[in-house]
Amino acid sequence: MCCAASEGNQKNNWPIIDFAVLLAFHKPYGVLSQFTPDGSPNRTLTDFGFPKGVYPIGRLDADSEGLLLLSDEPDLNDRLLNPRHAHRRTYWVQVERIPNRESLQKMERGLVIQGDKTLPCQARLLDPQPEIPPRDPPIRVRKNVPDCWLELELIEGRNRQVRRMTAAIGHPTLRLIRVRIGTLAIEHLTSGHWRALESDERELIFA
């Protein structure tokens, strides 16, 4: 999956270009974003047949689902994860009860979590509500307590940030799915499956 620059480019002392492997994976619930076990009953990335030499760019907690990138290109970590690049990541979050606009605006302005204020983000109630296949195991259900799906777009990724943010406004997270990185969407990639990205799709992760 690599390609070198043409001989003509080499004669002009241009660098040889290696096109790195870049994979999109729909991480299921209960899977660690790493290849080594951590002593928990959670599965690891070794269960999914990835090619040798790739590693996850960023992470999703074991109890979160959705789009995870894997690559053998070290520079992607900084380009995609450093908040100074304002790189967007979009999540669908199922929460208890239905937040009002004031609560969503609190998240958008930033919340103090563990002593530090989160960067501004975008938050909205999804309308219409998405139809998402149930999770295995299912989420907890509280009788007579409604739930709803929100969309959050962040440019930073602190430890369990989305869950801490929704808890801070009084709406605990029941389920969390990362649906986009940049403008690359997880659609048509079913849970537990991965595929290599085409060159035009690679551009979408930076858009």
Pick the catalytic residue: 18, 38, 47, 61?
A: 61
- Report d(CA 25, CA 186) in Å as an integer: 8
Same domain, residue pair 192 and 154? no
Place of tokens 């195991």: 137
Question: pLDDT of 168-206, one tens digit each?
Answer: 999 999 999 999 999 999 988 999 999 999 989 988 988
Instruction: Supply the CATH number for residue 62's domain.
Output: 3.30.70.580
CATH number at residue 108: 3.30.70.1560
Same structural domain for residues 145 and 92?
Answer: yes
90-108 burial: b if 16+ Cβ within 10 Å, else e: bbbbbbbeebeeebbeebb
Range of the domain at 49: 1-85+188-207
Q: Are residues 113 and 160 in the same domain?
A: yes
pLDDT 10s digits, 115-142: 999 999 999 999 999 999 999 999 988 8
Whether residues 136 and 192 share a domain: the answer is: no
Pick the residue with more confidence: 43 or 159?
Answer: 43
Q: What is the number of structural domains in the chain?
A: 2
pTM comes to: 0.88
Among 76-85, 136-145, 163-172, the minimum mean pLDDT is found in 76-85
- Of the listed ranges 10-24, 91-105, 115-129, the least confidently predicted one is 10-24
Same domain flag for 195 and 173: no
Cβ pair 146, 176 in contact under 8 A: no
If asked whether residues 177 and 105 sit together in one domain, one would say yes
**In terms of domains, do 93 and 177 share one?**
yes
Backbone angles phi, psi at 167, to 5 degrees: -65, -35
Q: Indicate if 61 belongs to the active site.
A: yes
Do residues 157 and 143 share a domain? Answer: yes
Measured CA to CA, the distance from residue 47 to residue 29 in angstroms comes to: 13
* Alpha-carbon gap, residue 70 to 169, rounded angstroms: 33
Q: With a cut of 70, say whether residue 19 has pLDDT above it.
A: no
Written as six digits, the tokens of 67 are: 């789009």
Among 159, 146, 153, 145, smallest CA distance to 64 is for 159
